[in-house]
Chains A and B, each alone.
Chain A
Amino acid sequence: MDCIKSFRDVKIRPALIQLLNLGILICSALVLWKGLMCMTACESPVVVVLTGSMEPGFRRGDILFLHMNKEPIRAGEIVVYNVDGRDIPIVHRVIKVHERKDTGEIDILTKGDNNPVDDISLYSGGQLWLNRHHIIGRAKGYLPYVGYLTIIMTETPMIKYALIGVMALLVMTTKE
């Protein structure tokens, strides 16, 4: 009876310390992410390309580094935008820009490089143009392949659970 109790007691403290370490790791990752969000003035400073609509330039699984500033948006830029009512951001290129003289407001039209037509059918309802407030980021940097892990994890949740399970096991069983 008492040897079982002592076994339980001895293991709790190191296990709690391990959990705390994990917590610190997660928090520092979060701090890094939030810091990046502030630096780039962008809601999601890094996005993973999900579709093949920008091929051959961007393939599924590539990642894009975004930023956002007040500088005027011009044709040729690659922007990430959200259509009202949809929550999957779209990464396409700006092909038309009309900038109002009086307000500085802009009407833009986008199109995926690999798409035969422009994005008008993607905009909600009878919307013909995108405006600045739809744009959540402008792409300035690129890294191939790195995001593929994220795609695998979102599309096959089994792998995500397996990964978390393995990591939890490692955390619990390492002695340091």
Chain B
Amino acid sequence: MHSAVQRANALVTIAAILLAALCTAASFLDSFNSPSVQAHVEVVKINRFKRQLDGNDEVKMTLNISMNLESIFTWNTKQVFVFLAAEYETEKNSLNQVSLWDHIVQEKERASFRVKVPTKYPLIDQGSNLRGKKIGLVLHWHVMPKSGRMIRDKMPLSYLSLPNSYTTKS
């Protein structure tokens, strides 16, 4: 004969398993979402381009960024972390990825916007390779769900050719 405690135990176990199933199902449906993101970036001005004391190049600029991330949001989306990265290759490094600016979007209603901002993080090279360099500006986003799998994706936007000589005295 089962006691009430044993029934309660069975209830909690089944309820927990079903909860896990719900979360998995919600996350699974996310993979069918095919978002179409529109974005555009424009470098308004290069504020600083110099060589630091330790020999590394440093760049700071002001950017005009606009994007529409609405199609990324599903019912299971908690927030979208979006950032703009400068990507380029040098003699020593096959890949350099430096985040210039990032933002957290928590609601679909605020997923379409335009900002004019100075770079949050300076572009600092490992070395002194940036003069005349062509760097790619790539928009990355990271979808953080309410439960389940996290999704990352990116979209190259445009290129920026840095000046051939420093614009700021060290």
Establish whether A and B are touching in the complex (CB under 8 Å).
Answer: yes
B160 to chain A, nearest CB (A): 17
Interface size of B in residues (CB-CB distance below 8 Å): 33
Among residues of B, the one whose C-beta sits closest to the C-beta of A76 is B140
Known: A56-B79, A75-B97, A100-B93. A95 touches B121 (CB 8 A): yes
Within 8 Å of chain B (Cβ to Cβ): is A148? no
Q: Which of B69-103 contact A (CB under 8 A)?
A: 78-79, 81, 83, 85, 91-99, 102
Contacts of A74 in B (CB 8 A): 97
Contacts of B142 in A (CB 8 A): 76, 78, 93
Q: Which of B120-152 contact A (CB under 8 A)?
A: 121, 126, 140-142, 144-150, 152
Chain B interface, DSSP helix/strand/loop, else mixed: strand
Contacts of A76 in B (CB 8 A): 81, 83, 85, 99, 140-142, 152, 154
Known: A99-B93, A144-B146. A77 touches B126 (CB 8 A): no
Please determine whether A99 and B147 come into contact, CB atoms closer than 8 angstroms. Answer: no
Please determine whether A98 and B106 come into contact, CB atoms closer than 8 angstroms. Answer: no
Contacts of A141 in B (CB 8 A): 27, 148-150
Q: What separation, in Å, do the CA atoms of A125 and B159 have in the docked complex?
A: 37
Contacts of B146 in A (CB 8 A): 144
Q: What separation, in Å, do the CA atoms of A54 and B85 have in the docked complex?
A: 20
Q: What separation, in Å, do the CA atoms of A144 and B79 have in the docked complex?
A: 13
Q: What separation, in Å, do the CA atoms of A38 and B86 have in the docked complex?
A: 36
Please determine whether A143 and B23 come into contact, CB atoms closer than 8 angstroms. Answer: yes
Please determine whether A142 and B147 come into contact, CB atoms closer than 8 angstroms. Answer: yes
Known: A56-B104, A57-B104, A101-B93. A143 touches B147 (CB 8 A): yes
Please determine whether B97 and A96 come into contact, CB atoms closer than 8 angstroms. Answer: yes
Contacts of A57 in B (CB 8 A): 78-79, 81, 104, 144
Q: What separation, in Å, do the CA atoms of A56 and B144 have in the docked complex?
A: 10
Among residues of B, the one whose C-beta sits closest to the C-beta of A106 is B95
Partner of A142 from the list B83, B104, B106, B150 (CB cut-off 8 Å) is B150
Q: What separation, in Å, do the CA atoms of A72 and B93 have in the docked complex?
A: 14
Within 8 Å of chain B (Cβ to Cβ): is A107? yes
Contact mask for chain A residues 83-103; partner B; CB cutoff 8 A; 1 contact, 0 none: 000000000010111111110
B92 to chain A, nearest CB (A): 6
Known: A95-B121, A97-B97, A98-B126. A75 touches B149 (CB 8 A): no
Chain A positions within 8 Å of B, measured between CB atoms, are 56-58, 72, 74-78, 93, 95-102, 107, 113, 118, 139-144
**5 pairs, A vs B, C-beta closer than 8 Å:** A56-B106, A75-B85, A96-B98, A98-B95, A101-B94
